[in-house]
Each structure stands twice: as C-alpha cells, then as structure tokens.
C-alpha cells in the first residue's frame, strides 16, 4: 500500500509542478506582451504598466501556491529530516514572496 502511495504521490507532484510551471509561463508571457504594448502606446503608460504588474503578481501567487502544494505532498511521501528542513525553508521563502506580492497588490488597489 505504501509503495502505491509513493508512486501515485510522485506522479501527482510532477503534475502539480507542471501546472505551476504552465501558470507562471503564461503569466510571464502575458506580462511581457502587456509591457511591450504599454511601452509602445504612449498614452497612460504608467497605468497600463501597473495593471500589467498586478496581473503578473496574481499569476505568480497562483503558481507559487501550486508549487508549495507539490512540495507538501512530496514531503508527506518521503519525510526525511532533510526533506522537512528543505520544505520549511522553501515554505518560508514562498510565504515571504506571497506576503510582499499581496501587500503590493493591496497598495496598488488603494
């Protein structure tokens, strides 16, 4: 039973990481084209750039959340002290990134 959970969990981790990758890549491509469009369009450039940044922040927060979920599942499958320590550091870094991105989003909405 444990072997099956390890196999299934490993595949789920790969799938969730792939989803996170797709989310971040799509957000990055969208942000790139929005930035180029805003720079080429001289009217309201700062407003368009800020809106593009806010959308990109949403994409990044979503992607980071998926990656954290994959890390949690991976650690649940193979709970070594090294894996738990790495998960703690990664979770801390991603939590800080999410905190600052969310703060920037809240400030921009005001």
The string of pLDDT tens digits covering residues 36-51 is: 888 887 766 677 788 8
Phi-psi region of 44 (alpha: psi -120 to 50; beta: other; left: phi over 0): left
Q: What is the pLDDT of residue 58?
A: 87
Residue range 93-102: mean pLDDT, rounded: 80
Share of the chain above pLDDT 90, in %: 25
Distance CA(33)–CA(19), nearest Å, equals 21
Distance CA(7)–CA(77), nearest Å, equals 9
**Which of 2-11, 40-49, 75-84 is the least confident region?**
40-49
Distance CA(102)–CA(92), nearest Å, equals 15
Q: Assign 30 to helix, strand or coil.
A: helix
Q: Are 37 and 64 in contact (CB under 8 A)?
A: no
């Amino acid at each position: 039973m444990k072997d099956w959970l390890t196999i299934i969990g490993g595949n789920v981790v790969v799938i969730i990481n792939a989803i996170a990758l797709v989310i971040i890549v799509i957000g990055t491509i969208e942000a790139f084209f929005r930035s180029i469009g805003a720079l080429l369009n001289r009217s309201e450039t700062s407003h368009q750039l800020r809106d593009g940044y806010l959308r990109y922040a949403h994409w990044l927060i979503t992607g980071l959340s998926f990656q954290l979920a994959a890390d949690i599942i991976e650690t649940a499958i193979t709970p070594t002290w090294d894996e738990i320590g790495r998960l703690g550091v990664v979770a801390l870094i991603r939590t800080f990134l999410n905190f600052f991105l969310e703060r920037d989003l809240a400030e921009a909405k005001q």
